[in-house]
Structure 1
Amino acid sequence: MTRPEPTTETSVPLEEQPEPSFSEQLSEQLGGWRGLVESSIPVTVFVIANMVWELRPAVIVAVASGLLIGAFRLARKQPVRHAVNGLFGIFLGAFLAWRSGEARDFYLPGILISTGYTIAMLISVALRWPIVGYVWSVVVDGGRTRWRDEPVLLKTFSKLTVIWAVVYFLKVGAQALLYLAHKDDLLGIARLVLGWPPYALLLAFTAWYARRVTRQLA
């Protein structure tokens, strides 16, 4: 009976494989870079189409682009959770704009949703359950809330949540002023400029700052 020859290939045990970084996990939980790009496509299509054509053709092509993105993800058996969330806002905005005949109403759901986010973040800080801390616990710590027993972490996540709330407040304020002034084209451009770029910067800063504090405590 012969012994099997030793192989030169070595496998890395599962527990020794490096886990994704906090920034990578946080980005994935919130939709990732691809989710950011895909969510901006229907809005970009609407802004351009509304400048070239009339309102209703612009609404149609914007909704169609959102449906194509969702269908593409389904065809490739990819997660559609973030695509569905984005489509809800697109459909609601399209319905409002179609009914009122005003292009500015296409952006109204986004303004209201961002307002809701702002209020929710401030309330979470007041209740000592900052949303950024909760997301951190889900992404990094398996949903445990041990960070609330650490004053430094509680203060850190409260500070980060307030920063997110302030940025969202500024976004809402700028878009609300354009909405009330009936500046439809400028409102569309502002929606794009104030969409994923501030989000990406906030995400990067949050990941860096939270990782810096947790490393110091460790």
Structure 2
Amino acid sequence: MAVPDAQPPHPEGADGAGPPEGTARAEPTTVEEHIRRSLAMALGGWRGSAETALPTVGFVVMWTWRHELKPALVVAGAIAVVTAVVRIVERKSLQFVLSGLFGIAIAAFFALRSGRAQDAFLPGILWSAGVGVASLVSIVVRWPVVGFMIGAADPQAAEDPFAWRRHPQVLKVCIRLTWVLVVLAVVRAAVMVPLYLAEQVTWLGVAKIVFGWPAWAAAVAVMGAMLLRGRTPYDPLTAPGRGGSAAPG
């Protein structure tokens, strides 16, 4: 039951792998192609998404069976610990597992303090609302969230993490894509808040899972369709990190 929802599946393949090592990529010819590549590098894989969702599944199953808060939280925590141990044995990244453990700890704090099972989902609802508001504000001030995702995936980000914003066309496309995140947050709130107020714990769990990686996959698919339709010319000479024009206001 991680507070941040699971990350979407990697657009470049089921195993999240990029191009073969040593294979040079051709320079992108459109802004949309440039952003597709950057998003592909920034987003996570299927396994991490599943590991983040499994504790929620365990919580919902135990709650539906016993209708007792503490056993449900114990099962969720145990699942997260098992996935962490598997990751350690395999010597792989604990990023998503730690995210899940942190989310369970926060959820347990809220639920145990109030004694109400539905409060285990309150941190996730608040987090989603915060992401939606932040995404909307980022559009208004012309620093779109998707732009930061692209900047984080740029190999030159360490030198200039905001280089993407100096490319006017990249900025314009990033603003359009960030609207997808705003809409997703609104839909989440429209579904989960009424369920929370009605104390529908089982359906809250179902909604939490659906609005995890499946919803992210849908959002990425919408972004992908928007990018595939676009044909904005991409000029490498004015591209981020290559001496582009001054950042727009």
Relative to the length of structure 2, the TM-score reads 0.72
Q: Which stretch shifts more, 134-143 or 78-87?
A: 134-143
Distance (whole Å) between structure 1 residues aligned to residue 105 and residue 206 of structure 2: 19
- Given that residues 36 and 227 in structure 2 are in contact (C-alpha distance below 8 angstroms), is that contact kept between their aligned partners in structure 1? no
In structure 2, what is the equivalent of residue 4 of structure 1?
none
Q: Which stretch shifts more, 197-206 or 100-109?
A: 197-206
For structure 1, list consecutive stretches of 5 or more residues without a partner in the other structure.
1-12
Distance (whole Å) between structure 2 residues aligned to residue 189 and residue 155 of structure 1: 35
The DSSP-based 3-state class of the residue aligned with 1:129 is: coil
In structure 1, what is the equivalent of residue 78 of structure 2?
64
Distance (whole Å) between structure 2 residues aligned to residue 213 and residue 147 of structure 1: 18
When residues 14 and 183 of structure 1 are mapped into structure 2, their CA distance, relative to the original with a 3 A threshold, is closer
- Given that residues 103 and 184 in structure 1 are in contact (C-alpha distance below 8 angstroms), is that contact kept between their aligned partners in structure 2? yes
In structure 2, what is the equivalent of residue 139 of structure 1?
153
Counterpart of 1:217 in structure 2: which amino acid? Y
The Cα of 1:65 is off from its aligned counterpart by 0.5
Distance (whole Å) between structure 2 residues aligned to residue 207 and residue 140 of structure 1: 19
- The one-character-per-residue Cα deviations of 1:36-56 (angstroms, maximum 9, x if unpaired) are 111100001111110012221
For structure 2, list consecutive stretches of 5 or more residues without a partner in the other structure.
1-19, 27-33, 236-249
Counterpart of 1:177 in structure 2: which amino acid? P
Distance (whole Å) between structure 2 residues aligned to residue 27 and residue 63 of structure 1: 31
Q: Which of these two proteins has the greater Rg computed from alpha carbons?
A: 1
When residues 214 and 146 of structure 1 are mapped into structure 2, their CA distance, relative to the original with a 3 A threshold, is farther
Work out which of the residue numbers 23, 29, 35 in structure 1 matches 2:48. 35
Distance (whole Å) between structure 1 residues aligned to residue 188 and residue 173 of structure 2: 23
- The one-character-per-residue Cα deviations of 1:148-199 (angstroms, maximum 9, x if unpaired) are 2333221111111121111112102311111111111221111122222110
When residues 79 and 25 of structure 1 are mapped into structure 2, their CA distance, relative to the original with a 3 A threshold, is farther
- Given that residues 50 and 58 in structure 1 are in contact (C-alpha distance below 8 angstroms), is that contact kept between their aligned partners in structure 2? yes
When residues 60 and 72 of structure 1 are mapped into structure 2, their CA distance, relative to the original with a 3 A threshold, is same
- Given that residues 39 and 83 in structure 1 are in contact (C-alpha distance below 8 angstroms), is that contact kept between their aligned partners in structure 2? yes
- Given that residues 22 and 140 in structure 1 are in contact (C-alpha distance below 8 angstroms), is that contact kept between their aligned partners in structure 2? no
- Given that residues 22 and 207 in structure 1 are in contact (C-alpha distance below 8 angstroms), is that contact kept between their aligned partners in structure 2? no
Counterpart of 1:175 in structure 2: which amino acid? M
The Cα of 1:141 is off from its aligned counterpart by 5.5
Whether 1:154 and 2:171 are equivalent positions in the alignment is yes
Which structure would you say has the larger RCO, counting Cα contacts within 8 Å and 6 or more residues apart? 2
Distance (whole Å) between structure 2 residues aligned to residue 159 and residue 24 of structure 1: 17
When residues 196 and 164 of structure 1 are mapped into structure 2, their CA distance, relative to the original with a 3 A threshold, is same
Matches within 5 A, 1:90-129: 90-129=104-143
Distance (whole Å) between structure 2 residues aligned to residue 25 and residue 47 of structure 1: 36
In structure 2, what is the equivalent of residue 5 of structure 1?
none
Give the alignment's Cα RMSD to 1 decimal.
Answer: 2.6
The Cα of 1:207 is off from its aligned counterpart by 4.3
Residue identity (%): 34
The DSSP-based 3-state class of the residue aligned with 2:129 is: helix
In structure 2, what is the equivalent of residue 191 of structure 1?
208
- Given that residues 153 and 213 in structure 1 are in contact (C-alpha distance below 8 angstroms), is that contact kept between their aligned partners in structure 2? no
Work out which of the residue numbers 196, 205, 209 in structure 2 matches 1:179. 196
The DSSP-based 3-state class of the residue aligned with 1:217 is: coil
Counterpart of 1:185 in structure 2: which amino acid? T
When residues 82 and 22 of structure 1 are mapped into structure 2, their CA distance, relative to the original with a 3 A threshold, is farther
